[in-house]
């Protein structure tokens, strides 16, 4: 038998442990000397369920990516209605976007969630085709130049400012199935060379000058694909399964197609040959749509029709990667160990499995109690020297700070207390300005305090930094913040929500503040929770938004907030800690409520899919 080094030109690595995500590649082979096994990394191809659309519908259009998708238009059968509504996908859940100017079924689209294009369609779902074109900017649709030939079920490719639409269906006209093709320059459509065969209900992928149009009905139902190079059409590879009513995404050299009421098959294209993926869809739906800017390794398909006329809200995600997601590591909140005392307005810091919660309000008095958490159980620890609530905290379970807040008698405190892992002690380095409803984060020797309420009325924009020996006033926030949610470190922090602006986000780099993306859900009331270690990796959860409390969770990537799984119990008047993938929420409640409830957030955690190689 040939040696591996003779076949691959390299030797099998001899490792004491399996490699990590950041040091691995598909096809890598190694010998694990600890377990005595020969292993390799094989690409995983799988589908998983995403969040359902808010409105079940078929015959709609799509754009975007797997983590920022867009669905628009479509048709519902119960009640019968052509839709103009838009939904945006965060990678976890769908939320409502701006309505289209022209309600229609069978529109097609391309581009991204914040720069999408929609064109063509049927305004009655009964052969009343339109050439209307609209552009989406992430919040609103604007009319643009119409197609030269009105039709629907067009195959799309490209982006908002450089697209093509090929083929389609013209209803009562003859011929109904068209070879028409047009290109869009961001303003107007121009006829280009017609396809060599008619196609309707086909899948599109690629760019304006390198497009792939696959399957559809010619008629009959087709498995052929056509390639466009910007000036002419040529034949591409033939799919293994002929079908219509399908969707596609990717590039002309790396594309994916899925959908059809009679087939749950997914196929991938490498520029010359179609291959059937080992993964299949759970829902075989006609007229399924997709995020057209998705990739061969990260696809998104949504909605569709269960024949003859039942609309679906189902969403599926397709992943082709060496990273595998265990069912136990899908993003979710789960119950943690109950806190020993019912509280709200408490303060917590540390990590999900090594946390400390101090102070709070029990509906009778401000308390000084303190307890530590090991990931499952709370244990009473020595109390604060002075009771406090709604102050700031920073640090870890072994070295932390509590500063400011309300002390008994309603005093707006400037006091600081220091935790050394076993006891609390007064620290003489008090804040320059006493306040409560403040945000605090950082470490015991590099902390930040921001905002709060002014005893004389109004809110503070003041910010102070602690260096282990003194608090120093630094650059003020561009707006005041009271009971905002914040986290991070002294040189990379974030504050979001709070009063008076319930949606604004402020990022801090250690010297200056900058506006970040707005929250999706306004959280103007008392204390939402948050977790994160830098300004570009955060989650925010809960909060009071009169007349009720919020259970929504959002995640931040440094640019925009997007939906995460919701808390089991909505509440505010609390504080969170941990990271964006391992967060913790302790106690809290409605404005006058209390709870001992603790919830733990776990984000998706990729794991390498190792295969043990054996001989037979």
| Predicted confidence (pLDDT) per residue in 414-439, tens digit | 999 999 999 999 999 999 999 999 99
Q: What is the pLDDT of residue 610?
A: 61
Q: What is the pLDDT of residue 603?
A: 83
With residue 4 as reference, give the H or E element that holds it: helix 4-8
In this predicted model, which residue has the larger pLDDT, 26 or 357? Answer: 357
**What is the number of other CB atoms lying within 10 angstroms of the CB of residue 276?**
13
Residues 307 and 250 sit within 8 Å (Cβ to Cβ) = no
- Which tokens sit at 307? 């024949």
Residues 525 and 571 sit within 8 Å (Cβ to Cβ) = no
Question: How would you label 560-587 residue by residue, b for 16+ Cβ within 10 Å and e otherwise?
Answer: bbbbbbbbebbbbbbbbbbbbbbbbbbb
Q: How many angstroms separate the CA atoms of 89 and 293, rounded?
A: 13
Span 35-58, average pLDDT: 81
Give, as one character, the DSSP assignment of residue 21.
Answer: G
Q: What is the pLDDT of residue 173?
A: 80
Residue 177 has pLDDT above 70, yes or no: yes
Span 399-414, average pLDDT: 91
Q: What is the pLDDT of residue 36?
A: 79
In this predicted model, which residue has the larger pLDDT, 534 or 440? Answer: 440
Residue 557 has pLDDT above 90, yes or no: no
Residue 380 has pLDDT above 50, yes or no: yes
Which residues are CB-contacts of 206 (< 8 A; sequence separation ≥ 6)?
Answer: 157, 158, 212, 228, 250, 251, 252, 255
Q: What is the pLDDT of residue 8?
A: 47
Count of helices and strands (H, E) across the chain? 1, 62
Report residue 328's pLDDT band, with 50, 70 and 90 as the boundaries. Answer: very low
Residues 459 and 453 sit within 8 Å (Cβ to Cβ) = yes
Span 304-319, average pLDDT: 85
Q: What is the pLDDT of residue 23?
A: 58
Q: How many angstroms separate the CA atoms of 40 and 57, rounded?
A: 43
Q: What is the pLDDT of residue 4?
A: 46
Q: Where in the chain is the domain with CATH 2.120.10.80?
A: 46-320, 347-602
Give, as one character, the DSSP assignment of residue 459.
Answer: B
Q: What is the pLDDT of residue 155?
A: 97
With residue 399 as reference, give the H or E element that holds it: strand 399-403
Chain segment 572-593, per-residue pLDDT in tens? 888 899 998 899 999 998 877 8
Residue 7 has pLDDT above 50, yes or no: no
User: What 3-state class would DSSP assign to 22?
Assistant: helix
Q: How many angstroms separate the CA atoms of 312 and 305, rounded?
A: 6
Q: What is the pLDDT of residue 526?
A: 63
Percent of the chain with pLDDT over 90: 63
Q: How many angstroms separate the CA atoms of 143 and 84, rounded?
A: 13
Superfamily of domain 46-320: Kelch-type beta propeller (2.120.10.80)
Residues 535 and 545 sit within 8 Å (Cβ to Cβ) = no
Span 522-541, average pLDDT: 84
Residue 330 has pLDDT above 70, yes or no: no
Span 441-454, average pLDDT: 94
Span 278-288, average pLDDT: 82
With residue 6 as reference, give the H or E element that holds it: helix 4-8
Q: Which of the given ranges, 4-8, 65-69, 289-293, 596-600, has the highest pLDDT on average?
A: 596-600
- Nearest Cα neighbor of 55 from 75, 40, 35 is 75
- Which tokens sit at 249? 């995404």
Q: 368: exposed, middle or buried (C-beta count within 10 Å: 0-12, 13-18, 19+)? A: buried
Q: What is the pLDDT of residue 40?
A: 66
Q: How many angstroms separate the CA atoms of 347 and 586, rounded?
A: 8
* pTM > 0.85: yes or no: no
Q: What is the pLDDT of residue 606?
A: 57
- Nearest Cα neighbor of 294 from 128, 543, 74, 65 is 65
Q: Which CATH class is domain 347-602?
A: mainly beta
Span 64-73, average pLDDT: 93
Chain segment 491-513, per-residue pLDDT in tens? 999 999 998 888 999 999 999 99
Q: How many angstroms separate the CA atoms of 613 and 361, rounded?
A: 59
**pLDDT averaged over every residue in the chain:** 89
Report residue 259's pLDDT band, with 50, 70 and 90 as the boundaries. Answer: confident
Alpha-carbon distance values, 540 to 88, 97, 302 (Å): 19, 21, 27
Residues 211 and 202 sit within 8 Å (Cβ to Cβ) = no
Span 228-253, average pLDDT: 95
Q: How many angstroms separate the CA atoms of 88 and 76, rounded?
A: 18
Work out whether strand 553-556 and strand 561-564 pair parallel, antiparallel, or are unpaired.
Answer: antiparallel
Q: How many angstroms separate the CA atoms of 200 and 203, rounded?
A: 9
Give, as one character, the DSSP assignment of residue 444.
Answer: T
- Which tokens sit at 355? 């946390």
- Which tokens sit at 108? 């097609």
């Amino acid at each position: 038998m040939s040696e591996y080094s003779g076949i691959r030109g390299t030797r099998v690595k001899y490792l004491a442990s399996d490699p990590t995500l950041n040091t691995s590649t598909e096809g890598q082979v190694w010998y694990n000397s600890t377990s005595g096994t020969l292993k390799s990394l094989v690409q995983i191809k799988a589908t998983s369920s995403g969040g359902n659309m808010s409105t079940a519908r078929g015959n709609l259009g799509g754009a975007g990516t797997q983590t920022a998708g867009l669905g628009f238009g479509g048709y519902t059968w119960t009640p019968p209605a052509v839709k103009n509504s838009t939904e945006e996908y965060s990678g976890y859940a769908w939320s409502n976007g701006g309505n289209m100017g022209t309600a229609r079924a069978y529109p097609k689209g391309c581009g991204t969630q914040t720069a999408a294009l929609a064109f063509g369609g049927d305004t009655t779902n009964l052969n009343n085709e339109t050439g209307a074109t609209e552009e989406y900017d992430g919040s609103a649709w604007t009319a643009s130049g119409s197609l030269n030939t009105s039709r629907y079920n067009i195959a799309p490719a490209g982006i908002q400012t450089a697209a093509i639409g090929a083929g389609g269906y013209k209803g009562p006209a003859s011929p109904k199935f068209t070879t028409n093709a047009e290109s869009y320059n961001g303003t107007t459509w121009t006829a280009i060379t017609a396809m060599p065969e008619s196609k309707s209900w086909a899948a599109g992928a690629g760019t304006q000058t390198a497009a792939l149009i696959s399957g559809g009905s010619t008629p009959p139902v087709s498995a052929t694909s056509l390639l466009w190079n910007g000036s002419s059409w040529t034949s591409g590879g033939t799919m293994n399964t002929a079908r219509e009513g399908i969707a596609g995404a990717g590039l002309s050299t790396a594309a994916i197609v899925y959908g059809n009421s009679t087939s749950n098959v997914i196929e991938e294209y490498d520029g010359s040959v179609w291959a059937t993926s080992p993964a299949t869809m759970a829902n075989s739906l006609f007229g399924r749509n997709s995020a057209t800017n998705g990739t061969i390794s990260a696809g998104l398909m949504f909605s569709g029709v269960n024949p003859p006329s039942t609309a679906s809200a189902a969403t599926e995600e397709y992943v082709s990667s060496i990273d595998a997601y265990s069912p136990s590591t899908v993003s979710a909140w789960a119950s943690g160990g109950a806190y020993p005392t019912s509280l709200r307005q408490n303060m917590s810091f540390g990590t999900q499995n090594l946390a400390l919660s101090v102070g709070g309000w029990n509906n009778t008095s401000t308390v000084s109690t303190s307890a530590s958490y090991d990931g499952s159980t709370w244990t009473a620890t020595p109390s604060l020297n002075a009771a406090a609530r709604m102050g700031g905290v920073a640090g870890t379970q072994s070295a932390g700070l509590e500063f400011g807040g309300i002390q008994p008698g309603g005093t707006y405190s400037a006091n600081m207390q220091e935790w050394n892992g076993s006891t609390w002690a007064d620290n003489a380095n008090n804040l320059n300005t006493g306040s409560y409803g403040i945000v605090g984060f950082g470490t015991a020797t590099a902390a930040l305090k921001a905002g709060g309420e002014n005893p004389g009325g109004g809110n503070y924009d003041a910010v102070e930094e602690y260096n282990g020996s003194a608090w120093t006033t630094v650059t003020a926030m561009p707006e005041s913040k009271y009971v905002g949610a914040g986290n991070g470190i002294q040189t990379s922090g974030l504050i979001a929500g709070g009063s008076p602006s319930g949606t604004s986000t402020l990022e801090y780099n250690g010297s200056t503040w900058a506006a970040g993306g707005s929250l999706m859900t306004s959280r103007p009331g008392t204390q939402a929770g948050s977790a994160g270690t830098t300004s570009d990796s955060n989650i925010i959860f809960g909060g009071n938004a009169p007349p009720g409390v919020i259970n929504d969770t959002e995640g931040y990537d440094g640019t925009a907030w997007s939906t995460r799984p919701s808390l089991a119990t909505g509440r505010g008047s609390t504080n969170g800690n941990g990271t964006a993938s391992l967060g913790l929420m302790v106690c809290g409640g409605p404005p006058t409520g209390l709870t001992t409830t603790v919830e733990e957030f776990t984000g998706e955690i990729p794991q390498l899919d190792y295969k043990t190689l054996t001989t037979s």
